[in-house]
Amino acid sequence: MKRPAPLQPDHPMYTDAVAAYKRYRDAQEAGAPAEELEHLRQHAEFLFQSAADYQLYALEHQPLVRH
């Protein structure tokens, strides 16, 4: 099976992860409750990890693990 092309920096997978991280940082600066901060942090981390996993798969550095 042919592997997909690597993601470009302007791909929605990256831009969504960056936007999620910005929401987390903005919430931190605004003094949001700890529970909300943890939710935003985990969401941003998930998006970044998903993009990294896909990129490593596309570059043939590791198999894509689907949960």
Per-residue pLDDT tens digits for 21-50: 999 999 999 999 999 999 999 999 999 999
For the chain, the structural domain boundaries read 31-59
Name which of 17-21, 25-29, 51-55 the model is least confident about: 51-55
- Please identify which residue in the block is written with the tokens 């970044």: 48
- Res. 6: pLDDT tops 90: no
One-letter amino acid at 35 equals E
pLDDT recorded at residue 59: 86
Calpha distance 33→16 (Å, rounded): 23
More confident call, 17 vs 60: 17
C-alpha closest to that of 23 among 53, 55, 47:
47
